Chain A
Amino acid sequence: DAGVTQSPTHLIKTRGQHVTLRCSPISGHKSVSWYQQVLGQGPQFIFQYYEKEERGRGNFPDRFSARQFPNYSSELNVNALLLGDSALYLCASSFGTETYIQYFGAGTRLSVL
């Protein structure tokens, strides 16, 4: 079975641009979460979606938004990119919410120049 897949693998953008990152969860998983990992730090929670509804939001500005589609895949959108948005963006899927193992994708490496 395929694991969590994220696209693209790498992305280079300039300040002020917009970016869309995509995530496909493991088949049968209904929950998708997004995390940002800056070099040398642990991942920071951005969003969680379950059954296409937002269930949690981390401490990130409104430039960050996300949605989950009927097939449970998800998109993370970031507007007006800043240099500080350069990071590894990780998507995780799980069958449910709090008590289930979260499985992570390989991530999207975003560089903002």
Chain B
Amino acid sequence: KQEVTQIPAALSVPEGENLVLNCSFTDSAIYNLQWFRQDPGKGLTSLLLIQSSQREQTSGRLNASLDKSSGRSTLYIAASQPGDSATYLCAVTGAGSYQLTFGKGTKLSVIP
């Protein structure tokens, strides 16, 4: 059974700082890994999708990496802003499965 873990559970940083969020998964047989953002009480916004054959994806100030063999992914956020405050979730789609398996998320607070 696939399990996804995100560390830390919560993170508070001053505005302008660069930061890294971590995600690990137990079964390396995946189709892809996706990072999402969730604002309080809201749905999920897709940030980046990394296919299993890729090593990283970039969008603006966000960069996500994937090391499938070690079961790890990181989300790097450059020059953080108060508007980045949200919960960040990573999810994997397992090979032979149709479902996303999520971690519990990292709650990020960027202090002005």
Report A's interface with B, CB cutoff 8 A: 4, 6, 33, 35, 40-45, 48, 50, 55-56, 58, 88, 90, 92, 97-99, 101-107, 109
Contact A33 B98 (CB under 8 A): yes
Contact A102 B46 (CB under 8 A): yes
Distance from B90 Cβ to chain A, minimum over Cβ atoms (Å): 9
B80 interfacial contact with A, CB 8 Å: no
Q: Is the interface of B mostly helix, strand, loop or mixed?
A: strand
A-B contact pairs, 15 of them (CB 8 A): A4-B43, A6-B43, A42-B89, A43-B44, A43-B102, A45-B100, A58-B99, A88-B41, A90-B43, A92-B44, A98-B32, A99-B31, A99-B51, A102-B46, A107-B43
Report B's interface with A, CB cutoff 8 A: 4, 31-32, 34, 36, 41-46, 49, 51, 89, 91, 93, 95, 97-105
Option from B34, B51, B99, B104 in Cβ contact (under 8 Å) with A48: B99
